[in-house]
């Protein structure tokens, strides 16, 4: 399967402003790209790339005052099958975990493990460790938190989500991550593209959050927002929580005037044609 992914973001800055972007796909997906996922920025400004401490591919610019447009449009090869289920994936004792996993057991900005430890063990401590316990966390968050865009709050942490039982995908993810860490399952936040392949279209496209648990010697993806094994997760960043995975970070005031994201399956027949410009960008004259 081939999936076309991209975005168009338009900002307005009152003053020259430094910015950091987490918009490139994870380095592990680079070999799946049919075309580079380059950032195209108007007006043209120098772009510096770097890799952060979580292995994400980042970019930084100095945005001039005025309007700034950032776009990308590429095609990614994907397996076309839902995320796998490994019921036998074991939970490693903490003393046997690789050192790089230990940070994903600790509290972080939006994942207050110290506040939710008792609740986690009361809810899930009777379950056998491993995949089934991680899935039980996913089930509970999905069934007990109400989704709604009006509930979005950039300062809300997992403890508040547990109390008011409302949120958006990042809130579902933060609560699930926090429960897993409290249960000694390394868990990290992840964000990226998730199209509507194989499911009814229920809302406008956006970047979507999920989480990954370290079980059986590798990281597996779980989605507390939808709680089904989805096709076409194409990730751009992983970290401790949303603070590490912000798609854009602006070091000054700005107005976000446009936010358009797409992730659509591409018929194989179209791959033999010259690469067309995505019509959403063509309509904008980009």
What are the domain boundaries of the chain? 2-80+246-283, 94-231
pLDDT at 139: 98
Per CATH, the number for 2-80+246-283 is: 2.60.40.2250
Q: Which residues contact 37 (CB under 8 A, 6 or more apart)?
A: 5, 23, 24, 25, 72, 74
pLDDT at 16: 98
Per CATH, the number for 94-231 is: 3.10.620.30
pLDDT at 198: 76
Cα separations in angstroms, 202 against 38, 113, 179, 212: 29, 32, 28, 24
Q: Which residues contact 4 (CB under 8 A, 6 or more apart)?
A: 73, 74, 75, 76, 262, 263, 264, 265, 266, 278
Counting as low any pLDDT under 50, the low residues of the chain are 273-276, 284-286
Of 94, 88, 71, the closest CA to residue 21 belongs to 71
pLDDT at 84: 87
pLDDT at 281: 52
pLDDT at 286: 46
Of 101, 244, 126, the closest CA to residue 184 belongs to 101
CB 105 within 8 Å of CB 186: yes
pLDDT at 279: 52
Q: Which residues contact 255 (CB under 8 A, 6 or more apart)?
A: 11, 12
CA–CA separation, 263 vs 147, rounded Å?
A: 21
pLDDT at 284: 47
pLDDT at 205: 74
Coil, helix or strand at residue 152: coil
CA–CA separation, 117 vs 142, rounded Å?
A: 19
> Is the four-CA dihedral 111, 195, 82, 143 of positive or negative sign?
positive
pTM for this predicted structure = 0.91
Q: Which residues of 30-39 are buried (b: 16+ CB within 10 A; e: fewer)?
A: eebeeeebeb
């Amino acid at each position: 399967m081939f999936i076309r992914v991209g975005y168009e973001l338009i900002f307005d800055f009152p003053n020259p402003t430094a910015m950091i972007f987490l918009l490139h796909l994870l380095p592990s997906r680079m070999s799946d790209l049919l075309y580079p996922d380059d950032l195209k920025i108007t007006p043209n400004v120098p772009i510096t790339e770097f890799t952060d401490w979580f292995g994400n591919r980042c970019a930084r610019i100095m945005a001039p005052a005025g309007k700034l447009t950032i776009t990308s449009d590429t095609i990614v090869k994907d397996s076309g099958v839902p995320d796998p289920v490994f019921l036998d994936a074991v939970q490693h004792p903490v003393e046997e975990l690789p050192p790089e996993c230990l940070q994903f057991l600790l509290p972080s900005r939006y994942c207050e493990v110290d506040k939710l430890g008792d609740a986690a063990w009361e809810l899930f401590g009777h379950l056998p460790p491993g995949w089934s316990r991680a899935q039980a966390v996913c089930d509970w968050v999905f069934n007990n938190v109400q989704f709604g865009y009006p509930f979005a709050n950039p300062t809300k942490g997992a403890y508040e989500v547990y109390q008011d039982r409302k949120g958006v995908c990042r809130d579902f993810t933060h609560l699930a991550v926090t429960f897993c860490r409290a249960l000694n399952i390394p868990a990290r936040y992840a964000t990226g593209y998730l199209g509507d392949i194989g499911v009814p279209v229920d809302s406008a496209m956006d970047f979507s959050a999920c989480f990954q648990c370290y079980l059986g010697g590798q990281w597996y993806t779980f989605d507390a927002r939808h709680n089904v094994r989805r096709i076409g997760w194409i990730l751009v960043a992983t970290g401790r929580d949303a603070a590490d995975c912000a798609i854009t970070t602006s070091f000054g005031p700005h107005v976000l005037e446009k936010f358009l994201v797409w992730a659509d399956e591409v018929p194989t027949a179209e791959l033999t044609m010259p690469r067309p410009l995505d019509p959403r960008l063509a309509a904008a004259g980009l």
